[in-house]
Amino acid sequence: MESTINIENVVASTKLAEEFDLHKIEAELEGAEYNKEKFPGLVYRVKAPRAAFLIFTSGKVVCTGAKNVEDVRTVITNMAQTLKSIGFENIDLEPEIHVQNIVASADLKTDLNLNAIALGLGLENIEYEPEQFPGLVYRIKTPKVVVLIFSSGKLVVTGGKSPEECEEGVKIVREQLENMGLL
């Protein structure tokens, strides 16, 4: 009954400079999109590894869409070098990167009775309103993650700051379901 997580998305932030001229970046980088009326940041997508950037005038950058933490480091380093190459002088080429959120999925490979799980986990830790949303929302305190549990046995873990926290969230769910005789 082993399940491993698949990382679906890593969101990370960093600061590459004290400020950016987003119009200059839009003019220099093919595919960059900046529309101040719609969104205060510039959107730029890269293909290898695949990720998207939100770049702000403050010099802050948010990277989303990467499938692992190593890819985040790679694309942010590449982005810093690209910005330097188009004329931004004061770019931090080795910025401190903060993982904000990891979304991962897992499969327990069995059907689950969400009504029994809701009762077993205790109503103070869960949200389950099947007429509103088909999954049970389980908030775990340590690690601070949220696990969406579906009757198909599929899980979505969000809020983790590392793959290990996501893995631990799945482990806690599996152990609790086993202890309740529901797995």
Domain boundary residue, one of 46, 81, 100: 100
Domain boundary residue, one of 75, 100, 125: 100
Cα(147)–Cα(102) distance, rounded to whole angstroms?
A: 12
pLDDT in tens, 47-90: 989 999 999 999 999 999 999 999 999 999 999 999 999 999 99
Residues 88 and 163 grouped into a single domain: no
pLDDT in tens, 149-176: 999 999 999 999 999 999 999 999 999 9
pLDDT band at 1 (very low <50, low <70, confident <90, very high): very low
The model carries a pTM of 0.91
Cα(168)–Cα(154) distance, rounded to whole angstroms?
A: 16
Lowest mean pLDDT of 2-6, 7-11, 77-81, name the range: 2-6
pLDDT of residue 4: 82
Residue 90 covered by a domain: yes
Domain that holds residue 32: 10-100
Using a pLDDT cut of 90, give the percent of the chain over it.
94
Residues 94 and 112 grouped into a single domain: no
CA angle (44 as vertex; 14, 29 as ends), nearest 5: 110
